[in-house]
Amino acid sequence: MTAPVAPSSGSLRAQVGQLRRDVARTADQLAKGAVALEQAQARHAALIQAQSRASQGVDAARTDAWQSRTRLHMLARQAYMGSALPALPLVLTRDLGAVANLAYLHRSLDRVGAEQQQV
Protein backbone atom coordinates (compact mmCIF):
# COMPACT_ATOMS: atom_id res chain seq x y z
CA MET A 1 0.00 0.00 0.00
CA THR A 2 1.20 3.45 -0.84
CA ALA A 3 0.79 6.42 1.42
CA PRO A 4 -1.42 9.24 0.18
CA VAL A 5 0.47 12.12 -1.34
CA ALA A 6 -0.12 15.55 0.21
CA PRO A 7 -0.88 18.29 -2.32
CA SER A 8 1.84 20.79 -2.90
CA SER A 9 1.48 24.32 -1.55
CA GLY A 10 1.35 25.65 -5.12
CA SER A 11 -1.58 23.39 -5.89
CA LEU A 12 -3.40 24.52 -2.74
CA ARG A 13 -2.80 28.18 -3.60
CA ALA A 14 -4.24 27.63 -7.06
CA GLN A 15 -7.33 25.94 -5.59
CA VAL A 16 -7.79 28.75 -3.03
CA GLY A 17 -7.43 31.33 -5.81
CA GLN A 18 -10.05 29.54 -7.91
CA LEU A 19 -12.42 29.34 -4.93
CA ARG A 20 -12.00 33.08 -4.29
CA ARG A 21 -12.85 33.84 -7.93
CA ASP A 22 -15.89 31.56 -7.73
CA VAL A 23 -17.07 33.24 -4.52
CA ALA A 24 -16.59 36.71 -6.05
CA ARG A 25 -18.51 35.71 -9.19
CA THR A 26 -21.33 34.21 -7.09
CA ALA A 27 -21.50 37.34 -4.92
CA ASP A 28 -21.70 39.50 -8.06
CA GLN A 29 -24.49 37.34 -9.46
CA LEU A 30 -26.38 37.55 -6.16
CA ALA A 31 -26.05 41.35 -6.11
CA LYS A 32 -27.37 41.58 -9.68
CA GLY A 33 -30.22 39.25 -8.78
CA ALA A 34 -31.11 41.38 -5.75
CA VAL A 35 -31.23 44.52 -7.91
CA ALA A 36 -33.41 42.75 -10.48
CA LEU A 37 -35.73 41.52 -7.72
CA GLU A 38 -36.09 45.03 -6.28
CA GLN A 39 -36.88 46.41 -9.74
CA ALA A 40 -39.47 43.69 -10.36
CA GLN A 41 -41.07 44.36 -6.98
CA ALA A 42 -41.22 48.10 -7.73
CA ARG A 43 -42.83 47.41 -11.15
CA HIS A 44 -45.31 45.05 -9.52
CA ALA A 45 -46.23 47.65 -6.88
CA ALA A 46 -46.66 50.30 -9.58
CA LEU A 47 -48.94 47.99 -11.59
CA ILE A 48 -51.05 47.26 -8.51
CA GLN A 49 -51.39 51.00 -7.85
CA ALA A 50 -52.30 51.63 -11.50
CA GLN A 51 -54.88 48.86 -11.39
CA SER A 52 -56.35 50.31 -8.20
CA ARG A 53 -56.57 53.79 -9.73
CA ALA A 54 -58.15 52.35 -12.88
CA SER A 55 -60.68 50.40 -10.80
CA GLN A 56 -61.59 53.55 -8.89
CA GLY A 57 -61.98 55.38 -12.18
CA VAL A 58 -64.20 52.65 -13.57
CA ASP A 59 -66.34 52.70 -10.43
CA ALA A 60 -66.70 56.48 -10.68
CA ALA A 61 -67.52 56.22 -14.38
CA ARG A 62 -70.13 53.53 -13.69
CA THR A 63 -71.73 55.79 -11.10
CA ASP A 64 -71.63 58.68 -13.56
CA ALA A 65 -73.11 56.52 -16.32
CA TRP A 66 -75.88 55.33 -13.99
CA GLN A 67 -76.68 58.92 -13.04
CA SER A 68 -76.66 59.84 -16.74
CA ARG A 69 -79.04 57.00 -17.49
CA THR A 70 -81.33 58.18 -14.71
CA ARG A 71 -81.25 61.76 -16.05
CA LEU A 72 -81.97 60.54 -19.58
CA HIS A 73 -84.98 58.57 -18.37
CA MET A 74 -86.22 61.60 -16.47
CA LEU A 75 -85.72 63.83 -19.51
CA ALA A 76 -87.43 61.31 -21.77
CA ARG A 77 -90.42 61.37 -19.43
CA GLN A 78 -90.38 65.18 -19.34
CA ALA A 79 -89.94 65.37 -23.13
CA TYR A 80 -92.95 63.11 -23.52
CA MET A 81 -94.85 65.64 -21.47
CA GLY A 82 -93.31 68.51 -23.49
CA SER A 83 -91.36 70.33 -20.73
CA ALA A 84 -87.70 69.32 -21.29
CA LEU A 85 -87.04 69.89 -24.97
CA PRO A 86 -84.85 73.05 -24.69
CA ALA A 87 -82.33 71.43 -22.30
CA LEU A 88 -82.13 68.06 -24.04
CA PRO A 89 -79.09 68.67 -26.37
CA LEU A 90 -76.86 69.92 -23.51
CA VAL A 91 -77.74 66.99 -21.26
CA LEU A 92 -77.27 64.45 -24.05
CA THR A 93 -73.82 65.84 -24.85
CA ARG A 94 -72.73 65.61 -21.22
CA ASP A 95 -74.15 62.12 -20.77
CA LEU A 96 -72.58 60.81 -23.98
CA GLY A 97 -69.25 62.14 -22.64
CA ALA A 98 -69.76 60.09 -19.47
CA VAL A 99 -70.40 56.96 -21.53
CA ALA A 100 -67.25 57.60 -23.60
CA ASN A 101 -65.26 58.08 -20.38
CA LEU A 102 -66.53 54.75 -19.08
CA ALA A 103 -65.44 52.98 -22.26
CA TYR A 104 -61.98 54.58 -22.06
CA LEU A 105 -61.56 53.51 -18.42
CA HIS A 106 -62.59 49.95 -19.26
CA ARG A 107 -59.90 49.81 -21.97
CA SER A 108 -57.35 51.25 -19.52
CA LEU A 109 -58.23 48.65 -16.91
CA ASP A 110 -57.90 45.88 -19.50
CA ARG A 111 -54.47 47.22 -20.52
CA VAL A 112 -53.27 47.36 -16.88
CA GLY A 113 -54.52 43.81 -16.33
CA ALA A 114 -52.63 42.61 -19.39
CA GLU A 115 -49.44 44.34 -18.22
CA GLN A 116 -49.78 42.78 -14.77
CA GLN A 117 -50.13 39.31 -16.29
CA GLN A 118 -46.89 39.84 -18.21
CA VAL A 119 -44.99 40.54 -14.96
The listed range with the strongest mean pLDDT (24-28, 56-60, 84-88) is 24-28
CA 111 to the chain's CA centroid: 9
Torsion from C-alpha of 13, 18, 23, 28, nearest 10 degrees = 130
**Mean local confidence (pLDDT), 86-109:** 64
pLDDT band at 6 (very low <50, low <70, confident <90, very high): low
> Residue ranges of the domains in the chain?
11-118
What is the value of pTM for the model shown?
Answer: 0.47
Across the chain, what does the average pLDDT equal? 76
Interhelix angle for 9-81 vs 88-118, to 10°? Answer: 160
**Mean local confidence (pLDDT), 25-30:** 92
How far apart CA 23 and CA 8 sit, in angstroms, is 23
Higher-pLDDT residue of 115, 99: 115
Tell me, what DSSP letter sits at residue 1? -
Please name the amino acid found at residue 31: A
How far apart CA 44 and CA 51 sit, in angstroms, is 10
Phi and psi angles of residue 7, each rounded to the nearest 5 degrees, phi first: -65, 150
